[in-house]
Amino acid sequence: MTQEEIRKKLEELSEESYREFSSSLLPGVEKERILGVRLPALRRLAAKIVKDGFAAYLETVPGGTFEEIMLRGMVIGKAGGTFEEALPRIRGFLPEIDNWSVCDSFCAGLKIAEKYPRQMWEFLEDCITSRQTYTVRFAVVMMLQYYVNDSSWKKVLAWMEQVEMEEYYVRMAVAWAVSICYVKYPREVFPWLEQRRLDEDTWKKSLQKILESRRPTAEEKERIRNLRDGVCLN
């Protein structure tokens, strides 16, 4: 499909009510750039592009709408291949990301991380030291999605301590990552939380994320509240 055909298809799939809804969730994206296409429809279109042959599509410059950029990320994720094949596509897409939704959707589709965990981790260590907001968020979200496991959760927390960027969407991703670590390893992560090794605001956001999760027990949530409120338990 050509870019013109893709744009026409996206316009056919757009819904004004969903455009209004999406706009409310993306305060940093101009409303004029949002068409209002639902994610399942975008995924189906991405699958068709990959099935029909994605090489020519990825060689073109993506359109400027939110959906066209989101679609590009989905195609890259579905294209798969070896890590050596995928890495230039991933690296080339990162500068296109300018909002949390495209970032997080892109991460969710990069299942190649499960096949090449070592190579992806090495790439993420480079990304997390970037000066670009959404390249750093990309690294953090990839870590929380694919590396909070028995062998890597400590490394994830160690990197969360080192994130220096203060942008809101980066700090919220760090808080999210910390909460995922706690939810999966509450006994091990609680002492780390007690050490308050993040800046005050991100530390509090992390505790709030834990409290908002359904997975911690009532007792665990009480401990988190006491920690947040400075209650000393003997």
Mean pLDDT of successive 10-residue stretches along the chain, which has 234 residues: 88 95 93 96 96 90 91 96 96 96 97 97 97 98 98 97 95 98 97 96 97 95 94 54
Contact assessment for residue 45 and residue 38, using Cβ atoms and an 8 Å cutoff: no
Q: Give per-residue pLDDT as tens, 185-216.
A: 999 999 999 999 999 999 999 999 999 999 99
**Direct distance between the N- and C-terminal alpha carbons of the chain, in angstroms, rounded to an integer:** 65
Please give the pLDDT value at position 106. Answer: 98
Please give the pLDDT value at position 234. Answer: 44
Please give the pLDDT value at position 231. Answer: 66
Q: How many other C-beta atoms lie within 10 A of the C-beta of residue 107? A: 23
Please give the pLDDT value at position 18. Answer: 95
Query: For the residues of the chain, what is the DSSP string, one character each?
Result: --HHHHHHHHHHH--HHHHHHHHHH-TTS-GGG-----HHHHHHHHHHHHHH--HHHHHSPPPSSHHHHHHHHHHHHHH---HHHHHHHHHHHGGG--SHHHHHHHHHH-THHHHSHHHHHHHHHHHTT-SSHHHHHHHHHHHHHH--STTTHHHHHHHHHH-----HHHHHHHHHHHHHHHHHSHHHHHHHHHTT-S-HHHHHHHHHHHHH-SSS-HHHHHHHHHHHHT----
Please give the pLDDT value at position 232. Answer: 57
Contact assessment for residue 106 and residue 93, using Cβ atoms and an 8 Å cutoff: yes
The span from the CA of 225 to the CA of 234, in Å, is 15
Please give the pLDDT value at position 1. Answer: 76
Q: Which residue has the tokens 């990309």?
A: 138
Q: Give per-residue pLDDT as tens, 96-116.
A: 999 999 999 999 999 999 999
Please give the pLDDT value at position 28. Answer: 86
